[in-house]
Amino acid sequence: MLLVMQARSKDRRIKWVYFILIYLGLFLCLLLRRMCVRLVTGLIKGHSLAGEQPIGIIKEENVMDINRVAKDILKHVGGKENVSDLSHCFTRLRFVLKDMSKADKEVVEHLEGVIQVVISGGQFQVVLGSKVTKVYDAMLPMVDLESGGGEGGQAEKGNVLNHVLQVISKMFTPLIPAIAASGLIKGLLTAAKLVAAGRGVDIASNDTYILLFAASQIIFYFMPVFLGYTAAKALKCNEIIAMTIGGFLCYPQLDAIIQDVSAVTRIFGIPVIKGAWTIGESTRVFSYTESVIPILLAVFVLMYLERALEKIIPQILQIILVPGISMILMVPLTLCLLGPVGIWVGNGIQTVYYALMQFNAVLGGAVVGGLWGVFVIFGAHRALLPVGLNDVAVSGKQNLLAFAGAANFSQGGAALGVMLKSRNRELKGVAASATISAVLVGITEPAIYGCNLRLKKPMICAIICGALGGGIMGLGGVYGDAFANNGVLTIFTYAAFGMTPFIFYLVGIAVSFFGAAVLTYFVGFDDIPDKGDGAAAVNRAGDKNRTGDENRAGDESRAVCENAGENEILLGSPIQGKAVPMTSVKDEVFSSEALGKGIAVIPEKGEVTAPADCTVTLIYPTLHAMGLTMDNGVELLIHVGMDTVKLEGRYFQKHVEEGAHIKKGTKIVSFDIDKIKEAGYDTVVPVIVGNTANFAEVKGLEREHADCDTPVVRIIR
């Protein structure tokens, strides 16, 4: 602001432009959270029962105990002794575990604040959304990574590709906030330039523009320095020496030497390699500023050099000699070999990418726009970040994130369709928050894991519309001048190369967003029954009005509750067998009643049946666990056996589909008791009231023989 106020009087029109755009940006940033909270709260309140507090994301954010969540997650991934490495991205905690079998995915998925758990690329990934940084900061002191990290991780012993992807993620993820900030500044500057040009003013030579543009370039110009630090941290070598090598590559005098291609420069008598290259219609003399691959190669070699020096140099001298000798050796090695190789590799990647875009940009845009959300699920999108960053370093522009932006907006649009269609109040809150996150700042994990992937059909709609939007962008030759995460706040980044590509970009994101929203709304999806909403909770999105059926189901359900008063519910057993106290189960997760109160059944017959009219809300892929929502609002979690998830569905058979509304006595899953026992597993079946907190009392009733007509759980409203 001071820079704007100091502008010369002849630039008064420019000051007007800056006041409008920069103040708008500042106010938007300051009020963004407040607006989002009010919007989501309003949406949720509009669908809440009288007297209830808002639920979903806003309530969870306010009351969640971050330290307790961190402790619970750490406990159920096997404790600190099982953690080889811990990192995080925008929305996920990423664990590298020494023994993956010690982590209980089921339990972690049901912990407060956890959206989903993904096991991918040798990592145990816990999706937390916007709370991830707070949980990570709370957990970090609990984990002793200095003594145990990096040596026992399964990823490092297993698939080499998984390990490479993990290292790449560690190198580039810490840079994303600064890169996003750079993109935001460039977007505002581009918008300012367009507005000023419309008034006949060129602001490119204005002091404020120059200084802000310089600020937006820092992360890219000094990329070797920043990457030197993150790469050294990922590869466990000296971060400061790596940063020094990166700084050396950015040193102005060295840059001038490299740019002077005609002069011969030697170090220790070895010629320093210089050169130029041509990609498309542009020719550039290579420079190490803004480069990506040279510093990565240098740090990789530095890691092995340091280890070798530490073996031969006495420990008392290592603090001085190891860094000193490393620098003396790395400077000529980088200038004469590693740097040029890195430049050539980077140019090769850029040449291949350019050729692909020249061959069929529409197809490229459709593939990236359609599948980017799928890449996010598996964490593979981080392996593509170096391609985009290298593109900016080599050519000064990129379209990878433009196409990815189509995917971002389509995920947000699908989440909007879910919010408009669903009758589940909590899901509406999640979808509303996820829409805002995806559209404003391009963070799509809440949309993907919170609703789209969870409901399946919205994910398919997002993929289709993302591909359409990406194809439109490819057709229009869209490029941006910054590597910025796509959202409303950075759209002007894609106006830097003319209005025609910018219009194609706007059309692309509009098709992606509104297309996904409309398609999701009309295609529909299997809705999640609302909690505590009685018979009306049983709803399939897209079905016709079924109030009469629901009322009849409610009458039948009440008839099942034998001798139950108005405020009392008696539930029969979904398993035929002996009902015993939950505290007798030989698994602390169940016996402690951390997941809820209920009863345990020692099965006599290998069948899980509906104890009353209900909706099958969840059947775990391995068929050993399922969730039922009774028409009277009671939620049951039924877990067949202990550790039977390891059977991967063997000896189990499914008889109904997830989302089905079934009658009392309907067979849901059958299982072979004898074969499960022969495999060495306890067959006891915990029957848990998942929404125990919604009731005044939940009590298990012991029975020598129980079935769906025998009350085994007594609930007081």
To the query of whether residue 89 is one of the catalytic residues in this protein, the response is: yes
**What is the structure's pLDDT at 529?**
64
- On the question of pLDDT at 84 being above 90, the answer is no
- On the question of pLDDT at 592 being above 70, the answer is yes
List all residues 6 or more positions away from 87 whose beta carbon is below 8 Å from its beta carbon.
93, 94, 169, 170, 173
| pTM of the full structure | 0.53
- On the question of pLDDT at 261 being above 90, the answer is no
- Residue among 607, 633, 617 at smallest CA distance from 685: 607
Mean local confidence (pLDDT), 240-266: 89
CA dihedral 232, 233, 237, 242 (to 10 degrees): 30
Q: Taking each helix axis from N to C terminus, what angle separates 339-378 and 499-523, rounded to the nearest 10 degrees?
A: 30
Mean local confidence (pLDDT), 303-311: 93
**What is the structure's pLDDT at 22?**
53
CA dist 585 → 599, 602, 607, 640, 686 (Å): 10, 10, 20, 12, 8
List all residues 6 or more positions away from 279 whose beta carbon is below 8 Å from its beta carbon.
347, 350, 351, 354, 394, 395
Which member of 89, 237, 461, 708 is catalytic? Answer: 89
Q: Beta-carbon neighbour count of residue 539 at 10 Å?
A: 21
The edge-to-edge listing of strands for the beta sheet with 607-609 is: 607-609, 667-671, 652-654
**What is the structure's pLDDT at 530?**
56
- Residue among 283, 282, 287 at smallest CA distance from 259: 287
Mean local confidence (pLDDT), 154-177: 68
Is residue 690 within 8 A of residue 635, CB to CB? The reply is: yes
Q: Which residues pair with 618 in a beta bridge?
A: 627
Q: Which two tokens stand for residue 372?
A: 């980017």
Mean local confidence (pLDDT), 95-105: 87
Side chain identity at 211, as an amino acid letter?
A: L
Q: What angle do CA 278, 279, 285 make, to 5 degrees?
A: 40
Distance, CA of 516 to CA of 494 (rounded, Å): 22
Of 308-322, 442-456, 654-668, minimum mean pLDDT range: 442-456
Q: What angle do CA 63, 67, 73 make, to 5 degrees?
A: 105
- On the question of pLDDT at 299 being above 90, the answer is yes
Q: Which two tokens stand for residue 483?
A: 């590597």
Tell me which range, 101-105, 356-360, 417-421, is most confidently predicted by mean pLDDT.
Answer: 417-421
Q: What are phi and psi of 115, to 5 degrees?
A: -85, -45
Q: Beta-carbon neighbour count of residue 104 at 10 Å?
A: 18
Is residue 225 within 8 A of residue 243, CB to CB? The reply is: yes
Of 46-55, 129-138, 389-398, minimum mean pLDDT range: 46-55
Q: Taking each helix axis from N to C terminus, what angle separates 160-172 and 223-235, rounded to the nearest 10 degrees?
A: 140
Side chain identity at 258, as an amino acid letter?
A: I
CATH class of 546-716: mainly beta
Domains 64-158 and 546-716 are alike in CATH topology: no
**What is the structure's pLDDT at 25?**
53
Q: Which residues pair with 83 in a beta bridge?
A: 97
Distance, CA of 3 to CA of 104 (rounded, Å): 55
Give the CATH H-level superfamily of domain 64-158: Glucose permease domain IIB (3.30.1360.60)
Element (H, E) at 12: helix 12-45
Q: Which two tokens stand for residue 396?
A: 């000064």
Percent of the chain with pLDDT over 70: 79
Mean local confidence (pLDDT), 487-492: 80
List all residues 6 or more positions away from 293 whose beta carbon is below 8 Å from its beta carbon.
342, 343, 345, 346, 386, 390
- As a 3-state breakdown, the chain gives helix, strand, coil percent values, each rounded to 5, of 60, 15, 30
Where are the chain's structural domains? 64-158, 546-716
Mean local confidence (pLDDT), 189-206: 79
- On the question of pLDDT at 160 being above 70, the answer is no
Is residue 77 within 8 A of residue 119, CB to CB? The reply is: no
How far does CA 440 lie from the centroid of its chain?
16
Side chain identity at 203, as an amino acid letter?
A: I
Is residue 535 within 8 A of residue 551, CB to CB? The reply is: yes
